[in-house]
Structure 1
């Protein structure tokens, strides 16, 4: 692979990730809002909480349109995150191929874990300010006193009242949550390679061959592979998402002295189940979101170079 082709490939990955982030967010934003409301609810542990939240939002906050509050920061956050993530991920894999073990053509599970983890950490640091604003907007209705009216007004209020540090609340659990993406992509890449080899009895001898084979997988293959990898990572790492949401709420600085104190309070007051609030709507959200994200991502990767070649 030439440097020019590697550069082009990394930007194809970035555009594919950006597009996937936008499409999945627009389609599934209401479920994200419901999940966030349940995550920041420190009092209720009732079964059926999702139904209660849906009813309250619809009746008290303006009907259907209320389920799209915070859509702007959510689109901005997801599209930027996925675009930046895939850009970093692709370049890190290229570096590993170039400077890795000369006698080994394919990356190992640990290589994918390290590449995705590194890309995730860079992305988390860069996008955390967007997620703070998004969490606060999704956790409150537009009619709530003090609620942010828009993404811009939220950014200005945080800067005036909390300074730069306010934009990085919840960063520690977000960095810990990088393990989710690392586990997911480790499983995704290995399952994709396994499926490619099973589909084509020829065993790939190089990473380039494996990539060519993966491009011939069907959309059903991508649906199944992305689902299995997401469930695997999600079952292990969900509590960090709840912890991050708690630490990014408006009154987090008053309620918690830090991540450790938040963990202690949740455990003492809500028990183990407290760390899994919102898991139901999260599962309903993440699987369709994962399907949309990876289908758009994989198909954009395939057709974008063809489109560019035709236009050129």
Structure 2
């Protein structure tokens, strides 16, 4: 883990703490990755909430065509951007903050220079994911509902605040944390991904003379491959969570068990992979893989570079100020 640089001798300015660096790096990564691929997130959401038909070739193209033609043009592809932007930036900022501090705590209990084990990375990721999910779940409920319906729908939310108010008024606090149970199951996704990613980073770092020597290409292939492996293992929680968070969830389902039973009974096994493997290669690649892999790559490249260069930039600016 790259730590913030301590204040240099003669530099009386403050310095960035490791926790602040982790938070700023995660926040920046969340913002940039969200802005990059939001339309594909809308597409994945629509695929996951489709309970009327099985996946067919061309579903992704049909959804995009419908959104652009009937819901307000290209602008409609960015419906729900603000809750998605807030959820991603706040979520990644909190996640890396919790994750970094948990790793530090574990590292202090080990011998100097000894790497953490895969189990320790996995545990830190699980705890960080649970804490982050508890903080951000209401944002994801509103985001799911805003992506579900176009802005021209008579019952569509006009804003994120309006959406939260409606959920609270109609379903109370329980509604704001709808889908949290399957989300906790999905924490395993991040844990698996980070366990794989951290091991790859340590091994690659040992080969090139330290993690500070890793290039952006290293981060690209490590983050992409770890995301693919983790996604194949843990994806089914995502469509289940989306269905528990949609507008009419309280009318359609009695709880998590009912969602699982009805999804299996009415749509079969592949329904749990809608938006990932719709049964056809084209709709497997477009909605999820081409959405998730760039998102993950952008997130990790921005995070690692911000974490590395932000402390150096801060100290450089203080040094220049002292020289002036």
TM-score (norm 2): 0.89
Paired residue secondary structure (2:17): helix
Runs of at least 5 residues in structure 2 that lack an aligned partner in the other structure: 7-14, 277-283, 319-324
Q: Equivalents in 2 of 1:43, 1:221: separation in Å?
A: 42
Q: Equivalents in 2 of 1:286, 1:40: separation in Å?
A: 18
Q: Equivalents in 1 of 2:3, 2:307: separation in Å?
A: 18
What is aligned with 2:300? 294
Q: Which moved more, 1:191-200 or 1:244-253?
A: 191-200
Q: Equivalents in 2 of 1:267, 1:49: separation in Å?
A: 20
Deviation at 1:2, TM superposition (A): 10
Q: Which moved more, 1:54-63 or 1:155-164?
A: 155-164
Deviation at 1:198, TM superposition (A): 2.3
Query: Are residues 1:56 and 2:35 paired?
Result: no
Q: What RMSD, in angstroms, separates the aligned Cα atoms of the two structures? A: 1.8
Equivalences for residues 83-98 of structure 1 within 5 A: 83-98=93-108
Equivalences for residues 87-166 of structure 1 within 5 A: 87-98=97-108, 100-102=109-111, 105-166=114-175
Query: Are residues 1:77 and 2:87 paired?
Result: yes
Deviation at 1:47, TM superposition (A): 2.3
Q: Equivalents in 2 of 1:74, 1:121: separation in Å?
A: 19
Paired residue secondary structure (1:88): helix
What is aligned with 1:180? 189
The answer to whether the 8 Å contact 2:4/2:21 transfers is no
What is aligned with 2:248? 251
Paired residue secondary structure (1:163): helix
After superposition, the Cα gap between the structure-2 partners of 1:298 and 1:2, relative to the gap in structure 1 and judged at 3 Å, is: closer
Residues 254-312 of structure 1, C-alpha deviations (whole Å, 9 max, x = no match) = 11111111011111110011111111311110100011101100110111001110222
What is aligned with 1:26? 35
The answer to whether the 8 Å contact 2:16/2:311 transfers is no
What is aligned with 1:303? 309
After superposition, the Cα gap between the structure-2 partners of 1:158 and 1:2, relative to the gap in structure 1 and judged at 3 Å, is: closer
Q: Which moved more, 1:229-238 or 1:102-111?
A: 102-111
Query: Are residues 1:284 and 2:290 paired?
Result: yes
TM-score (norm 1): 0.92
Runs of at least 5 residues in structure 1 that lack an aligned partner in the other structure: 201-212
What is aligned with 1:269? 266
Deviation at 1:219, TM superposition (A): 0.6
What is aligned with 2:47? 38
After superposition, the Cα gap between the structure-2 partners of 1:308 and 1:104, relative to the gap in structure 1 and judged at 3 Å, is: closer
Q: Equivalents in 1 of 2:37, 2:295: separation in Å?
A: 7
**How many correspondences in the alignment?**
299
